[in-house]
Chain A
């Protein structure tokens, strides 16, 4: 079982969290201007890398706040965590 360092609460067991999938997807507020393909890209298409992956996490059984994490999907290690709106850090290691 992983531990995840919540940027607000510190390190907690993974069962306190819920994964929210890929991070840094941009939701266009004037989406009418987007083509079907562009909208479909936002709506359906997700990266599935082997290695570093920036993803959203929700500390649902804790502070109830969302944050982002960079996780290596191959080794299942969390490389960095950061708050929503912040840029993805250059992951350590």
Chain B
């Protein structure tokens, strides 16, 4: 098809080039400068979608981002995107678009049966109908979603790239129409750093669509061109086209999304991101976001071919398209006449101008009369006809009250209806900024009132209508904003504007329909299929607050957030309630202004860049030796090392056995390490740990428990004294940062008198733990200056010397109950020392073991893991660790809470062991333990399993659990109910292996 509806001349399109595109599989052409909407119109396509609920045929209503109807599925494969406004898609060659919410085709949609049934589907239909039985909703919902859906999300990951940009400026101007350009010029000339953003491909806003307007005796577009050239030439000004200011946040922080390559089509520019998210902090903001034309609410006002009057002007003047041959204009203000005259001059037949008012005398109505156009004053449209496209309207004479028709109506044929109900200032961003809105009764609009942040509104978003006022307000706002930001400047000179006079008019909220209202389909919200009757029904059913009406009827929701419908809905609700509009209130505007892609918001913070990954210095060795890894916080730790043919169970059993019979080696580099230094270091440790630290000898190690002020265990670990004023503290792997923060907090705010410095040294050292009866021999083989004898180097002590030829701190401590040494070397030497240990350990059958084996080994000994046996509600007493809590220290963190009524009461959960009757049965961690099993939950629960493993050394399963009054239950048999069976368990002491602890000291 070949642009059958293109005007012979005019418009800001490049007629020398043609672009080919498809819509629902049919091939069309357009020109650079077209939007998908204007190209469709130029090809005579008005029907572009089906409505959300009733599946009514819908066309293109607007020419901008406020479009509620023309939502299409754009693109293919993983680049496809649903619900994109055809009015905002710049045409590119090869563009593929499809309509949404129809089956089997747009022209014949089975779902349209909903329209016939619409009297049965009033507001709140789904709430009322699908409530019973209550669980049925789960089934209904799926079917309803399929019927009332919009587009479809892609199946695979987004292949495109998105970037962030952080920026600061003195003046941010949102909107590049007359007011915005003027503001940017004034602020830029004053020397302020200016960012001006406009959502369209071309700056200029409505000036691009208004051929009759002249600025400084030249066409308005000439002024736009000069203004853009001047701005582009200023180093202090950044011009952002195709950029929507979508969010206004605290302290003049705004989110902008720049569509960098969307207009080029997929794969067109691989070196550029698809979109760029700007996060701008502005000293001052000028909002020049324009106004949105208000639709008139009349019977069947939603047929394809019915559009907003100024948008029609835009299609004619800016895009050179001819949306129809026979136009009816329906208006309550003079701007409707302007559209009629523009259409008339473009050769479109103007069948009638229907004005709700009597005796309009402005220059535009007079010009229309002089042009011989047929005008019906004091009339309204009371019905329309046409299945897939409007083919006629019926009108009637309004009674003086305006709420009913006198006499009988009559019909006029047409294929195009332009409606104008006045202009709503676009106050979304102002409202997001927490500014207060004022209601202006004379034309029924909300205008910006008291600002909350340093901003000013200018132009039609501020409630003015003429280009002259827009330019004047823009210049003034830009100059003032620059001045406030510290750039002195003089009052800018004004601009002379010639334009048709088009004053504001009294609002007209609802045209009385020919049929009863309930069947008349007077649409208020096109996107959500909400009619005037739905709103009145909601009020009758008791919804009084506009926020409740909104949620009940869904008016103002969806991708357009009620851009064209909110004020009309509010007016109809308030009229029904018999209250003034300001008394009913307005709904709150929230970000984003228009739908913003997740890709832009996520930026590069996806995949591998989502969260930092921490690897130990020995990681590559683990990987090269087939280790399986697990994530522990941000750390990646070796989990187990399967040999060929081994499953996890076999590998872990082998590793666990080796660590008790020969020698095992563990990479423990992830343990948090904090150096505590200063004359008061010992006193500081004495306050943050529950046991006493003042008398710990140099070269000695001690285990400590750290509590919160609430008395609950927060962390544990071994700390060694390196010198009189120097300690090396270790923390659990996942808790290192939290512990550091907490310790800093106490030092800086509670005990600033203590002279202590904390340094995180986690990543400075590699920690290699050798473990098992042969570990002493292994250590001895690799050191010539550390006496490894049992007396010379006893348990819980530190020796410094050379291991494998490099300086090392060796700490004899044990997390397995075996003889064990923790060898700390410089991180850079960790891998070499590990390899030296592996080589020297060969004769002893050295076996690397991972975190899983480590867990089994420590569980055999009943050693807790903070975060596994504890969950923020366990005291030392609950864990059977009263032995580590000092009775004599006057103060330590959490001490007072250990005497709280809650922490001393009977029946707290306590740590115990569990042994299953069946030695092979391994309990599930998290499983509940009960005394009496009932048929089904709820059952009285005693507690839960915290750790559970198969112990190859004991040749049976073992588990740790926390149970209410656990210690008094030792010896009893309890039950663990599972979905398919009940497992019988015996409660035991939580230490299963070497209860006397002889092996670590041997």
Contacts and interface: CB of A to CB of B under 8 A. Distances in A.
A4 to B, nearest CB: 10
Interface in A30-78: 30-32, 34, 36, 39-40, 42-43, 56, 58, 60, 64-66, 75-76
Nearest to B253: A1
B749 A43 contact: no
Contacts of B452: 75
Contact of B710 (A34, A43, A75, A76): A43
Given A3-B281, A31-B891, A84-B748, A36 B900 contact: yes
In this complex, which of A42, A56, A84 has the most chain B Cβ atoms within 10 angstroms of its Cβ?
Answer: A84
Contacts of A43: 709-710, 897
A76 to B, nearest CB: 6
A66 B896 contact: no
A35 B749 CA distance: 24
In this complex, which of B745, B748, B897 has the most chain A Cβ atoms within 10 angstroms of its Cβ?
Answer: B748
Contact of A32 (B709, B710, B745, B896): B896
Given A20-B745, A30-B891, A43-B709, 13 more contacts: A1-B279, A27-B709, A27-B750, A29-B890, A30-B890, A36-B901, A39-B900, A56-B749, A60-B741, A64-B744, A76-B250, A84-B749, A85-B749
Contacts of A1: 249-251, 253, 279
Given A34-B896, A43-B897, A58 B249 contact: no
Contacts of A84: 748-749, 752
Interface in B740-759: 741, 744-745, 748-750, 752
Nearest to B758: A64
B193 interface: no
In this complex, which of B752, B895, B896, B899 has the most chain A Cβ atoms within 10 angstroms of its Cβ?
Answer: B896
Contacts of A75: 452
A22 to B, nearest CB: 12
B893 to A, nearest CB: 9
Interface in B660-713: 709-710
B749 A66 contact: yes
Contacts of B891: 29-31
5 contacts: A1-B279, A3-B281, A65-B748, A66-B748, A76-B250
A78 to B, nearest CB: 9
Contacts of B896: 28, 31-32, 34, 39
A3 B749 contact: no
Interface in B274-328: 279, 281
Nearest to B255: A1
A58 B897 CA distance: 25
Contacts of B890: 29-30, 32
Interface of B: 249-251, 253, 279, 281, 452, 709-710, 741, 744-745, 748-750, 752, 890-891, 895-897, 899-901
A58 B709 CA distance: 19
Nearest to A78: B251
A9 interface: no
Given A39-B897, A43-B709, A2 B250 contact: yes
A39 B752 CA distance: 22
Contacts of A56: 749
Contacts of A66: 744-745, 748-749
Interface of A: 1-3, 18, 20, 27-32, 34, 36, 39-40, 42-43, 56, 58, 60, 64-66, 75-76, 84-85
A25 to B, nearest CB: 10
Contacts of A18: 741
A24 to B, nearest CB: 10
The 4 closest A-B pairs by CB, nearest first: A31-B896, A84-B749, A1-B253, A66-B748
Contacts of A2: 250-251
Contact of B752 (A28, A32, A85): A85
B82 to A, nearest CB: 29
A87 B891 CA distance: 26
Contacts of B895: 31-32
Nearest to B708: A43
Contacts of B279: 1
Contacts of B750: 27
Nearest to A3: B251
A69 B230 CA distance: 45
Nearest to B279: A1
Nearest to A38: B896
Contacts of A28: 896
A84 B891 CA distance: 22
In this complex, which of B250, B281, B750 has the most chain A Cβ atoms within 10 angstroms of its Cβ?
Answer: B250
Contacts of B752: 84-85
B888 to A, nearest CB: 12
A18 B744 CA distance: 13
A72 to B, nearest CB: 12
Contacts of B744: 58, 64, 66
In this complex, which of B249, B741, B901 has the most chain A Cβ atoms within 10 angstroms of its Cβ?
Answer: B741
B251 A58 contact: no
Contacts of A3: 251, 281
A20 B750 CA distance: 13
A29 B753 CA distance: 14
B761 to A, nearest CB: 15
A29 B890 CA distance: 8
Contacts of A27: 709, 750
A37 B744 CA distance: 28
B711 to A, nearest CB: 9
B675 to A, nearest CB: 15
A58 B745 contact: yes
In this complex, which of A31, A56, A85 has the most chain B Cβ atoms within 10 angstroms of its Cβ?
Answer: A31
B741 A58 contact: yes
Contacts of A85: 749, 752
Nearest to A76: B250
B738 to A, nearest CB: 11
A36 B896 CA distance: 9
B285 to A, nearest CB: 15
A1 B279 CA distance: 10
Contacts of B281: 3
Contacts of A32: 890, 895-896, 899
A32 B744 CA distance: 25
A23 B721 CA distance: 34
B740 to A, nearest CB: 9
A32 to B, nearest CB: 7
A3 B249 CA distance: 11
Nearest to B711: A43
Contacts of A60: 741
A36 B897 CA distance: 9
Contacts of A64: 744
Contacts of B249: 1
Contacts of A36: 900-901
A26 B303 CA distance: 69
A27 B891 CA distance: 11
A1 B334 CA distance: 43
Contacts of A31: 891, 895-896
